[in-house]
Each structure stands twice: as C-alpha cells, then as structure tokens.
Chain A
Amino acid sequence: MQPTTEILLIKYGEIALRGGNRRFYEDMLLRFIKKTINTVADGEFSAYKEQGRFVVQGIDGQNPSHLIPHICRIFGISSVCKGIRLTNRTMDDVMVAVLDYFREHNPNPTTFRITTKRADKKFPGKSDEISAQIGAHLFAHIPNLRVNLTNPNFNLVVEIRNSIYIYSQDVEVAGPGGLPPGSAGKGVLLLSGGIDSPVAGYLAAKRGIDITAIYFHSPPYTSERAKEKVLDLAQHLATFTGKIKIYCVNFTDIQLHLTEKTPPEKITILLKRSMLKMADLCAQNEKALALITGDAVGQVASQTLHSLHAMSGTTALPILRPLATYDKKDIVAIAEKIETFPISIRPFDDCCTLFLPKHPETKPKLSIIQSIESRIETLGELYQKALSEAEIYHF
C-alpha cells in the first residue's frame, strides 16, 4: 500500500474569481499562510499551491491539525479541512486509501455520500462514475452501508488534482472569507477604546486593507490605562492582520484650544473634524489611500447624517465607515466573535467626558462649522506638532 500524508486543504473564496490578478492574490495569501504556520511551528510545515487550493503538510509527515485555528483566522480563506494526500494516482490506490480512511474515521458507518471533484480532466473517467466505483468498493467491504445523498452521516470528498486529496466535509472549518491581508492597500483607522472602531478595523482589514491606526488621548484628562486598553485592542487586531502600526497622538492642547473657542453644542463635531484632519495628515505620511471610522448612522449625536455631512472637507481621501448601517447589537455580536468586546468594555474613558457638552447639536450645518473652524488660528500648526510628537507602536 502506498503511503498517505496527513494534510490541511485550504479553500479560498472570492479571489478564485479574479481574472488576471488571481495569481497576485494567491501568492499573497500563500505567503501569509506560510508566515502564520512558521509563527506557530517554525520550519515544521510547508505550504504549496494546488489548482484552486492551498495545501499544508508536515515536512516529516507531522499531523498539521493543530494549525487549523490559526489558519482559519486568515482573511481570504473560506475554509480549512483536514484530510489525506495520495501521490500515486491510480484508481486502485484511490480505492484502497478511501477504504482505509473510511474505516479509520467512521467506525460505525450507517449512511454516506461520495463526491468526486476531477479538477485534472486528464484523469480517466467522469466524476460520477468514479464516485460510483468507489462506492461499490465500500459496499463490498463494509456491511450495512447505505447511500444518502441529501443528509449522509459521512460526507466524503475525493479531489483529483496533481495529487489526490481525500477528506470528510463534516470536519471542514469555515474561515473568515474576504481578501488576503494587505492586498487592498493601506488605510488609516481612527481607533478608540470603544466597541465600534475595532470592529470597523476588523471589517476593513477583512477586505484586504492594511491597517495603520491612530489614537487620540488627552492626558491628564484621560488615564494611562485608557491608552493601555487601546494598545491592547490594536495588538489583538494584529492577530488577524499580521501586523499593526499605531500612532498615539496627544490631543490635549488641541482639545483645550478648540473647547475654548467653540460654542459648547458644536464642540463634538469640531473635535471629530480635527481628528479626521490629523488622520488625513497621518495618511499622507503613510501613503494610505483611505480613512476608516467606526461611525454608525444615528448611533449618537455626532453620527447623525447631518453630523456625518458636517465632517465633509476634512480629507480628500475616501472615509470608509464599515459599520454605517449596522445596529448596535450587530456590532456587539461581531465584537464578541472577534474577542475585542471584553477589552472594549474595560471601564476607562478614552474621550474625556469633561469635554462633552450636555446637549450636543444633532443637526449641525457644515457652513457654520466651517466658518467657526476657519476663525480658529494656529490649528494647522497644532496638528503638525501633535502628529510629529506622536508615540508610535508596532504590533
């Protein structure tokens, strides 16, 4: 009997549809998979491309199952499944291997289904014929077996490619989908310690955006612990994105300056505009192509459509708001799933409540806001100074 190798078969969704760019995305994803498996187990496993799939296997035949939780976090991957690989590609070899696999993984068989995917069209026979032939072999060797195509309790797949892969679809683990990390270019995420902005960052990163974060703090009005919380969030996001750079900008002087010169009900909008302008400056430094915020329409006063409109003119870059149409409970559900929620709810304010007016305006007029803003001198210099003095962390 020929040796079989335990492998992980990795499927990717959307990038398989890309035409001329497909190879670019595939190579990027493969590099990220290699980086991930080397971080977990350096030099023990290899990964290679195989006609619409990636395959991970042990250098010395080690079982790669423990890599599944790490690989199924990678953006661009639609699922990960453990299975076996056959390098001898004759029907006899396939039937022997399937029978062994079947016995090992399904000791009390009742109903089953076999699906054959013949990606290598040169392999003799049609897919259904191959499935039937393997099925007949199983019937001959295992008593009391029945076929059930709609709801089998063992769902076996045979994929015929450069090698042959056998796996049970029942143990397939879903990945996040999306596009390979960093494949879309860079964006600057306005990250706070709240629930929304880390989720917005996650969703943007899932579409392949390479995230650089910017965080505004106001010491001594905000505490060192609030900053620690945001750094923890950034570090956690980096477990999905591979890496994150974060700017911690001291916002106190700008905040005091603006608060002094602005009617209280308009201060929130002006502060947010300042943050966007500084994020825009940061994006220029970083050669980023978009800003990303956690705004959800209507969630709070500064997120009404009027307020979002009043943010206009702060940047020439597109502002991506992945959560714009989300309800709070749906945002919380994602935050819980990606495990940023427990960090976000630590009780340290990051936008000092002392600066919040009792009755913020919900329908600010852009023209009025802009005219107030234009009368405040030295803002541009303060932005440049704060950004140049920002502390930068890499995760």
Chain B
Amino acid sequence: MIYLDNAATTKPSKPAITALMRSFKVCGNPSSLHQMGIDAEKELAHARKAIAGIIGAKPAEAIFTSSGTEANNLALFGTAKKHKGKQIITTKHEHSSILKPLEKLAEKDNFNIYYLNTINGKIDLDDLQNALAEPTCIVTTHHINNETGIIQDIQAIGHTIKKHSPATLFHIDAAQSFCKMPIDVADSKIDLLTLSAHKIGGLKGSGALFVKSGVNIQPIILGGGQENNLRSGTENLGGIMAFAAASTYCWQNYKTNFEYIKSLNDRFRGLLGVVDDITFSGADTSPYILDMDIAGVRSEVLLNALSAKDVFVSSGAACSSNKKGANAHRAETALRVSFGVDNTLEEIDAAIHIFAECIKALRKSARIVR
C-alpha cells in the first residue's frame, strides 16, 4: 500500500497517539469546578499555548473547533454580521468550506462576493487593492491551495489590506500550511486563521480558529459558553491534546520535513522520464502537494486503476489559476499526489513504476474510449 493522499488526511503521528492515550486518563470536564475538571483544564491550556505559540499568537486567541470546516464557517458567519461592509473578497479557488458559506451569505444576507483575479493561481494584488475601494467586511483566502499546492503571499496580501482598508478583516485558511511552513499572524496582519489537526498527524474531528484579540465575532454554536463563548460544547480533549502533540512534533521538525518532502516531490517528477505528456505544477508551490495534468487520461479512471494496485491518490484538482476556457478539460485530467513524512523514496520509485504502467494501459484504450 502506497498512500500518496496526505493532503486529504494523514496517519496519526506517534506523539499524537501517545497524547490521545494519555487523555483517556484525564477524563474530567474542563469546565467542572472540582479537581478532575481542573486537571483537564490544565491540559487544555497547555495545548492552547502550544498551538498558539507556533503561529505567534496568544493562547487566548486559539478557539478549538471540530474541524477546519467549522473554523472556516465560524470565521465567515461569525464576522459577517458583526462587521461593516457589504462586500466579501475571496477567490474562485477556495475550499468548499469557504465557498459554500459565502454563497449562503450572498443569498440570505445580500453580501456581494468579489472573486479576485489570480495570476498563475496567485492573488493579483492590484485587483485586491482596487476591490478594497468598496467597503469590505472581510478578505478570505487560503495559504496553500489544497488542490494545486500554490502558495499565496499572505504577508503581501495582509499588508495590502491593512494599508488600503484597515477595518477590513483578513482570514486565512491554513489547513494545508500549518506546521509545514512558518506563519506569523502579526507579521502577515492576519485577524482570523483556520487550522486543522488531521493534516499534520493529528486526529479527525479537531481543528481551531485563531481569532486576534480585539476582533469581535459571534458564535455559530450556542450553549455552555466554552472557548471564550465562541464555541460551546464540551471540548474534545483527546483530539485537542493529540492536536497539540502533533503540531509540536511537526513544527519542531518542519525544516527537515520540508527538505525530505521536497526530495520525495523531486523524485516523483522523474515520472516524466518514463511517460511523456505530463505537466507538473510549477515553482512556488508547496512540495507537499504535487498537482499534475496527464494528457489523455481521465483522473478518476487513473485513480481507480491505481487504487486497484494499492496506490492511493486524489483527483478533482480543479484548474489552477486562470486557465479557464483555454484548458477547460484539464480538471478532468488533473491528479493530485500529496506526500507525507511517512512516505519513503522506495515507495516513490514503486509508485512511479505503477503510474507508468497504468497510464500506458489507459492511453492505449483512450483511442477507443471517447
């Protein structure tokens, strides 16, 4: 089995599993007033501090959620009604947990959603500056695109926003970049930042939203007032402790990991030596995600063929950037390979071999299949 779909989810890392096991002994409710509750709350505070520290935030600014999706929903629904400006700025290349809430806000609350131009997938800063002439509630985009791996220059975006429209909030979905490259919320003038645990060796069902202190948002889940009144519901302590342990482990090794992942990515590009007519995503992308376009082979079919040989990848990588029209069929032939620290060079070599075999076979029948 060769798992090359680490942008979808990762295996829990050893420190995360150890932390989870430890959490079973801390079975109090962090909100309880007795000693067991206090013990649980201490673990929660420790986790909050660890995660906030990685992005240069204060512990109180980290709000634990059930997922990155919930964090994105909280960021958008939570601010839209509290802040002035009937415009929200984003791109067409966001995760559905951003696009769907924005569609809802446009439909129900008459927000005008402005989709920025992108140049090779990266936000056009001039277009952003022009768009900010309209009163804008929030700018929301991703750090690393989950399908193409393209990295946004969040520092430049943040500075453009705050220079031209200081009251506009800046939200970044960092699900694919957290602990894989440095993020400094103050440096990039970020007000809200989405994190997800299971992309870095944590568990599914655990995420967080950084909310800069002083930024006023309203909760979307009401109840006991946990998480500074922003996310009611008893905290998922096991998930949170595993999240903190996974983050710390990943962040401590991020430079080594980055170089290692880069070597896997470079190695995989050797596929081009075995099969022709493959276009890989360009420079300025995260080495963790390798987006490719394989001419003449539908990605879904290749995915099934690879799966039958125990190689697991992902399709559905949409057209990167502004290639609409000119290359509209590309989405059908785009494939995403995403690497993790558990992958080995031997696995990559084996995967290349299987890829080549499948692509050749499918291209052979492609003349039959219309």
Report A's interface with B, CB cutoff 8 A: 219-224, 256, 259-260, 264, 354-355, 357
Contacts and interface: CB of A to CB of B under 8 A. Distances in A.
A264 B302 CA distance: 23
Nearest to B304: A220
A86 B13 CA distance: 68
Nearest to B298: A354
Interface string B25-51: 000000000000000000000000000
B308 A219 contact: yes
B304 A219 contact: yes
Contacts of A220: 301-305, 307-308, 358, 362
A35 B362 CA distance: 49
A171 B102 CA distance: 51
Contact of A264 (B305, B358, B370): B370
B304 A224 contact: yes
Chain A CB count within 10 A is highest, among B303, B307, B370, for B370
A256 B368 contact: yes
B96 interface: no
25 contacts: A219-B304, A219-B305, A219-B308, A220-B301, A220-B302, A220-B303, A220-B308, A220-B358, A220-B362, A221-B301, A221-B369, A222-B304, A223-B300, A224-B304, A224-B307, A224-B308, A256-B365, A256-B368, A256-B369, A259-B368, A259-B369, A264-B370, A354-B301, A354-B369, A357-B370
A355 B369 contact: yes
B304 A260 contact: no
Contacts of A256: 365, 368-369
Given A220-B303, A224-B307, A256-B368, 20 more contacts: A220-B302, A220-B304, A220-B305, A220-B307, A220-B358, A221-B301, A221-B304, A221-B369, A222-B304, A223-B304, A224-B304, A224-B308, A256-B365, A260-B368, A264-B370, A354-B298, A354-B369, A354-B370, A355-B369, A357-B370
Contacts of A219: 304-305, 308
A329 B370 CA distance: 32
Nearest to A258: B368
Interface in B291-309: 298, 300-305, 307-308
Contacts of A355: 369-370
Contacts of A354: 298, 301, 369-370
B262 to A, nearest CB: 30
A342 B151 CA distance: 40
A357 B298 CA distance: 17
B28 to A, nearest CB: 41
